[in-house]
Structure 1
Amino acid sequence: MAVDVHGSGTEPEPDPATRSGVDQEFLALERELAVFLRRARANSGEMAREVHPELEPAAYGLLVRLEDGGAQRATDLAGYFGVGKATMSRQLRALEELGLVSREPDPADGRAWLIRITDEGRSRFLRVRGARRERYVRKLAGWDRAEIAELARLLHQLNATAES
């Protein structure tokens, strides 16, 4: 029950179906993102196994970031993904043991290391990424290219907002 600010007692909470359009838009966004994220996690697991049968699903995103952004410090990767240093260290160690990434001294700071995708890691990753892109092309064949570009732009905006 909500308290009536006009002093006449209490009134029931508003029915979700009668909330303002803004509330409905955010509820719809939450619902659609939940479904999208669940499917994305499942897809990441499949793609990770295609790269290497022992690769953890979360580590696939590290390969994406390293391929797109080049060599990076583990602390920068942890910050980008919003995970702790211990989690990042564990995932990077697993990738290194599989031969998908390597560590090299950071020329800008001799105490730090840069993580780089190996040639083997790049080859495996690009094969899986190409297959994934083909799946997107098939699934979105009925979409206008401008709609795809707009979706990419909006997702980028959402991700950029999450980083700040």
Structure 2
Amino acid sequence: MDEQPADSLREVEHELTALLRRGRAISWEIASEVHPNLEPNAYGLLLWLRRSGSTRLTDLATRLGVGKGTLSRQIHSLEALGLVRRVPDPSDRRAAQLSLTEEGQRRFDAARASRLGQIRQALQNWPARDVAEFARLMRQFNDAWG
């Protein structure tokens, strides 16, 4: 692959920093939409649980790149809020399966609809092919990042 020009890499860094800053602000908003006591970084955890339906704590920790202890504490707080349930894994009673509760799913879906509305509004003047390409490039970047 060709060496990337330094100016282009600095521009990517600048735009990524702006995106992350904006994302943190949006995370505070959307977390409070899900539940007033929800930590902002928990939205991503809820997203993974919504996508997977049910998953083992160890698999989720590996996927998110966090320790099992850290994830267990986060799950505990989500359980206390009534958003997540932990049940014994039928194939291994020592392990737990995690999933959203009905209330967690309802609250997450409502907050997600709000977020998707914001994204839709930001991209409303983009051609559909550009939106698809943007999604492809973001996925490629995230896959390369790790």
TM-score (norm 1): 0.83
Tell me how far 1:37 sits from its aligned partner: 0.8
Q: How does 1:84-123 map to 2 (within 5 A)?
A: 84-123=67-106
Q: Deviations over 1:78-135 (max 9, x none)?
A: 2222222222111111100000000111122221001111100000010111111111
Equivalence for 1:147: 130
SS of the counterpart of 1:102? strand
Q: Distance in 2 between matches of 1:23 and 1:118?
A: 47
More displaced stretch, 142-151 vs 20-29: 20-29
Q: Distance in 2 between matches of 1:21 and 1:130?
A: 37
1:41 maps to amino acid = R
Q: How does 1:9-24 map to 2 (within 5 A)?
A: 22-24=5-7
More displaced stretch, 68-77 vs 95-104: 68-77
Q: Within the alignment, does 1:66 sit opposite 2:49 as a pair?
A: yes
Q: Distance in 1 between matches of 2:49 and 2:42?
A: 11
Aligned length: 144
Q: Deviations over 1:37-76 (max 9, x none)?
A: 1111111111011000000011111111111112111222
2:6 maps to amino acid = D
Q: Within the alignment, does 1:30 sit opposite 2:21 as a pair?
A: no
Tell me how far 1:21 sits from its aligned partner: 6.1
RMSD: 1.4
2:132 maps to amino acid = A
Structure exhibiting the larger radius of gyration computed from Cα positions = 1
1:160 pairs with 135, 143, 146, which one? 143
Equivalence for 1:8: none
Task: Flag structure 1 segments of 5+ consecutive residues without an equivalent.
Answer: 1-19
Equivalence for 2:35: 52
TM-score (norm 2): 0.92
SS of the counterpart of 2:45? helix
Task: Flag structure 2 segments of 5+ consecutive residues without an equivalent.
Answer: none
* Deviating 4+ runs (over 6 angstroms): none
